[in-house]
Each structure stands twice: as structure tokens, then as C-alpha cells.
Amino acid sequence: MTENLIQTIDLRKTYKMGETEVHALDGLDLSFPSGSFIVIMGPSGSGKSTLLYLVGGLDWPTSGKILVDGLEIDAMDENALADYRRNKIGFIFQSFNLVANMTAEANVAFPLRFSGVKKKKRLERAEDLMMKVGLQERIGHKPTELSGGQQQRVAVARALVNDPPMILADEPTGNLDTSSGQAIMTMLDELCKAGKTIMVASHDPRMLNYATHRIYLMDGRRVDEKQYMDSNLISS
């Protein structure tokens, strides 16, 4: 295990919108040890989700480097990236991203299909995780039969099914009411205390209560807390 689990070096991501170049990330240097709870704060368009997607291997940087546990993510081909995402990363999305015609249990078990796990073992693992997130009585329910908070707990269980060392969560409380959002934050905190590394992009200031590392982004660049707070005061 390397000293820093996650490291970015002069990380840049540029998108073209017609004739205009948008610098989603503009020279980001970050490093975090294993077991961190990293909270990335910033307004819409600041680069929060872009950073998560790059660290998670869902997108490629325009330039710069991303190192995760010594692996150079930006240099991987598609096959290596697929292995990395399957074994190293668990994703949680704001919109849950559950398959509508599958039960909660089947949604949780689904990623194990790509790891060659037999069906019986897949369902046993899913059932165990559904119990851990407090939804053992909802195993046979489809997403439309679950509340938003319950759907997000299913998504957390699915993110854990391959036992990845790192969880990436993009606005995991964004579509939830206050109490459901709090339950998800508590769950992420417990996962961190159990040894997982958590990286969350969020607008929710309550998430900062759990952070071991706070990252504030504006226009693709890291700023300090005062700059971020001052900007929020001006914009409000």
C-alpha cells in the first residue's frame, strides 16, 4: 500500500462547447491517505463531479496524472480501467441508478455477474448487504416500491458488493429528505471508520462534519475555505 492512496498531479480536464473551451479542472494537485473521508464542496460547474469521474475511471483527463494505490489511472486502457472500477471502486449516484425492472436484491447482486461469481453466492452476498443497510424486509421490492432513502441504501449496498477499498459518492443526499440524507451520511461515516476511503462531492454542508479532508473547488481550481465562504456570501 502506498502512503497516499489517491494522488492527482496537475490534473486538467477541458471540454469544448462550440468555439469555447471550458476548464472543468485546471491544474489540481491533491493527495489523500487510505481511510480518509474526503468531502469536495463547490457550486455547480466547479468540477466536483468531474474529479470523482476521473478518479473513478469513468472519464479521462486532458492532461496530468491520477494515481490510486500506485496505479496510474490516466494511462490505463479500457480493459484495465474496467478491472480497476470493478475491484477498487464503489459508486453511489444522486439519482440512485437502480435497474427499474429488477428487485432490490438483484440490483445489489448485479455487479457480481461481471466478477464471475455464481448466482447462489451473488444472492447470499446481496442478502447480507441488504441486512447491513437495514433493508432485509425489502429484498423482493423493485425500486418504484421503495422510498428515495431506501433506494439510496440499496445503492450503497450495491457499491459495497465487490468489497472495494474506495467509495465515490456524487451528491448522495441530493434527492433525499433531511432524515434520509442524515442516515446516508452516518452510513458513509461508519464505512470510513471500518477502513474504507470515502470521496464525496456534495452541496450539503452537514457532510463536512464527517470529513477528514475538505476540498473547496471554484471554476476547476482549489480554493481555501475563506475564499469559498466569501464567494457564497457574495452570490447569496
Q: Is residue 72 part of a domain?
A: no
Whole-number Å distance between alpha carbons of 114 and 69: 22
Ramachandran assignment for 219, one of left (phi > 0), alpha (psi -120 to 50 degrees), beta (any other)? left
Mean model confidence pLDDT for the chain = 92
pLDDT for 100: 94
Q: Does residue 139 lie within any of the structural domains?
A: yes
What is the domain count for the chain? Answer: 1
**Range(s) of the domain holding residue 50:** 34-59+88-235
Q: Is residue 138 part of a domain?
A: yes
Q: Which residue has the higher pLDDT, 236 or 88?
A: 88
116 within a domain of the structure (yes/no):
yes
Cβ neighbors of 96 (< 8 A, separation 6 or more) are: 143, 148, 151, 152, 154, 155, 175
CATH code of the domain containing 185 = 3.40.50.300
Confidence at 66, pLDDT banded by 50, 70, 90:
very high
What pLDDT does 235 receive?
53
pLDDT by residue (tens digit) across 199-226?
A: 999 989 999 999 999 999 999 999 999 8
Better-scored residue on pLDDT, 230 or 84: 84
Measured CA to CA, the distance from residue 67 to residue 150 in angstroms comes to 34
Pairing outcome for strands 71-72 and 89-93:
unpaired
